[in-house]
Each structure stands twice: as C-alpha cells, then as structure tokens.
Amino acid sequence: MHYRKLGDTNIQIPLIGLGTMTWGQQNTLQDACEQMDFALDKGVNFFDAAEMYPVPPRAETAGDTERCIGEWFAQTGKRSEIVLATKVSGRADTRPDWAHIRGGPRLNRDHIRRAIEGSLERLQTDYVDLYQVHWPERDTNFFGKRGYQHNPAADGIAIDETLDALSELVEEGLVKHIGLSNETPWGVMEYLRLASERGWSKIVSIQNVYSLLSRQFEVGLAEMAMREQVGLLAYSPMAFGVLSGKYIGGAKPEGSRMALFNRFVRYDSPQSQAATEAYAAIAAKQGMSLAQMSLAFVCQQSFVTSCLIGATNMDQLAENIAAGELVLSDEILADIDQVHNQYPDPAP
C-alpha cells in the first residue's frame, strides 16, 4: 500500500481509505468487523465515518456506523493502529427528517461540542485523528447542486464561530486535526484565512466527490489542495457503484444501492450512462475491470491524498483495495480524456 501525507501534518495515510457509510444499513456489525480486519491487514489503516451514518440517514440507524467501529476497537484493541476520521453534520434545521440529530444540526459551538462527545462515546475512543465539517452551514453548491445563487441571508452560523469551536477541540486533545467536506474554493479560503489571522487550527483536508463522472474538483479546488496542502479525500470514486458497470443498460441488480434506495439518482442521467459505457470499453480493451480503472484514475491524481472506497461484500473490498497498486498508462489516460471531452462532468 502506498501512503501520502495528510496535509501539512506528520501523519501518513494510505492511498486507499476505508469508507464506512453502509455499515449499520447494508452491512451488519459482523460485516463491518470483517472489512476492518481485512483492510488493516492490507495496510488500509484510515477509516472514515460520520455521526449521521449509515446512509440513507434515518433516526433508527443514526450513529450505527460509528458504533460498529467502536465495537471493533473494543474487540481488537487496535485503536492506536488506525487513523480515524469522522464528521459533524452540517446545517439541517429546516428539515424535519433531520430532527433526530440535535433537533436539526447546526455548526455552532454548542452543536459541535455535543456532536464530538456523541461520536467519541459511540467510537469508544477519547480522540479523533481527523474531525470534518460534513457540509457547509451556508446556502451554497454541494451534494450535486449546480447553478450558484447568492443568498447571504441564509449564511447562518459564521465560519469563524465554527472554526473557533473546532480549534477548541484540538486544544483539548479531543481532535488531532480538522478538515472540511463538500466545500467550495471560497469556503476553503475562508477557513484558511481565519486560521492564519487568528492563530486557530488549520484545515488539513477536504473530502469532496471526485470520479471519472464528476471531475469538477479539478477546476478550482485542485490548485487550492496543492498550494495550501489541503489534500483531497475523494469520496464516491465509484459514483455510487455506477463505475462498477453493474448498472449498464438500465440494470439494477437485486440488493444494489440503486435498487434498494430511490434517492441515489445523482449518476443516473443518460449522459452518465453513455460515459460509463465508454469508460467500460476502455477498461475492457486494457483487460482490467471498470472498477479498478476508475479507482486507479482517482489514485493517480497528485491532489488526491486518499481515495475512499466503500464495499458491501468482501470481493468488492479486495478488488477495490488492489486498485491502489495500479498505474494507468499514458495511452489509457489519453483514452479517458477523449471520453471526458465528449461527456464533460456528466454527473454533478
């Protein structure tokens, strides 16, 4: 397994990181423990969770993913071997279906304090290596939203209060480092500016979507990641499993995410389907699986610190982890660029 430096810290994390959002929904505790055992044996010692996991979010299952990790720590005693990341939920005070998380999560000092205390209890640990803001407080573009509309009246809790509260957690040792998720270039710069001006903790990572079907990160955030040492933790590198090829031709295999949950339509457009078929043809020509080519492409980007994989069975997990060892040739990359030029960012 290859490792890269987490921001400007002295922590090295694997190029393949273990995503966990199916644990407690599509995967049982036993499944999760088996995945963690296997991943660690392969050198994958970076686990990424969130207080609201598993997905889809429901009151009955909220926090169960963190509980799975906590039970594994209790059973194995391997907390010290893991770089552990989790997230505080962003603003959702106007949505009644999120009332199970603190009555509707916000990014103020009180909510952040309660969130970390809850996560630490579920995780059965007294610190988190990386604590991330899951999505912004303000009204901006994330989770596939296009067409920015400026609405400063909906900014809500100011970033300076959020960052001040996060910095307190670092000072107390509850959190080692902080990061962002689903952020924009402006948001990243604002966190960096405030940290520099006020002596608060600096963000070391940004976890945003990045895959063959969604390469918008390259436009503005890639330069930010490189220049400011805020590397990308790429989530959905398989585009909710679309880039496994299993949904080609409109197929929805029994037990798959898109068959189980109708909310996952982000990568289900005709353009995404056409692009996926074209990428599948490239992979077939090279004698590799579409899944491994897709993950290898993400891993090969210099602005990526870790590619977060998620699997619902052990065969998928083994194939995905092995992709971290692949290096795509210039010929394959040129073919990929041709498809990208034909179907530029078909998914948001």
Residue 174 burial (CB count, 10 A): 18
Write out the DSSP string of 19-66: E-TTBTTTB-HHHHHHHHHHHHHTT--EEE--TT-SSS--TTTTTHHH
Residues 21 and 53 sit within 8 Å (Cβ to Cβ): yes
Find out whether 54 and 61 touch, Cβ atoms under 8 Å. Answer: yes
> Which tokens hold the place of 84?
């552990």
Distance CA 258, CA 318 (A): 22
Nearest to 65 by CA among 90, 95, 35, 42: 35
Question: In this structure, what token pair is assigned to residue 293?
Answer: 């080519």
Residue 80: strand, helix, or coil: helix
Full DSSP string of 263-319: T--TT-SHHHHHHHHHHHHHHHHHTS-HHHHHHHHHHT-TTEEEEEE--SSHHHHHH
Longest dimension (CA), the chain: 55
User: Which one is catalytic: 53, 191, 235, 267?
Assistant: 53
Active site residue 53: yes
Q: Which residues are catalytic?
A: 53
